[in-house]
Amino acid sequence: MTNTSDDRLDDSGPAAAAYDPRTVAAVGKLTEALEIAEVARGHLYNFHRLTGTADFAVEEAAELMARAGHCELAEQLNRELVGRNVLPGRWTFQVVEDYEDTYYRTFRAFEERARELTDGRRHLHEAELKRSRRSRAEPAHEAAPKD
């Protein structure tokens, strides 16, 4: 189920209280766990990008070594380190792909399935916090974006 602009959790929409609090807590915890996995996934992409950048820098260092007359070391760097697997048989893009295919997609599917218990609504706990914590009639405390 998808949220439309008129079913946002604002002061006029249904509150988390409209759902079983244990269900809201359970779905919320699974969403929190997914958010943590999202951060881990981001770190994997950083790992992928940084490792690739390092590999190209090693290649450049090998060129500089060769120009400086250190040809044996340059050749060894190119042969043994440039393009080296980071895990047996894997470059970083394969690590990212395996993570996504093996773990991340399944995790997302379960989180989406769990949200069916709350009519597809996301972040019910946070929406309820906003409802209870915002200062009505104060600037930057609106219930929802202006259309």
94-98, long-range: CB within 8 Å, 24+ apart, which pairs? 95/44, 95/47, 95/48, 96/44, 96/45, 96/48
Q: For 3-56, what is each residue's pLDDT tens digit? A: 443 344 455 555 667 888 899 999 999 999 999 999 999 999 999 999 999 999
Distance CA 37, CA 40 (A): 5
Long-range contacts at 98-104 (CB < 8 A, ≥ 24 apart) = 99/41, 99/44, 100/41, 103/37, 104/37, 104/41
The pLDDT tens digits of the residues spanning 101-140 come to 999 999 999 999 999 999 999 888 888 888 888 898 888 8
Mapped onto helix, strand or coil, the DSSP state of residue 90 is strand
Write down the residue that tokens 């470059």 correspond to: 91
Q: Cα–Cα distance between 130 and 141 in angstroms, integer?
A: 9
pTM assigned to the model:
0.79
Query: Beta-carbon neighbour count of residue 2 at 10 Å?
Result: 5
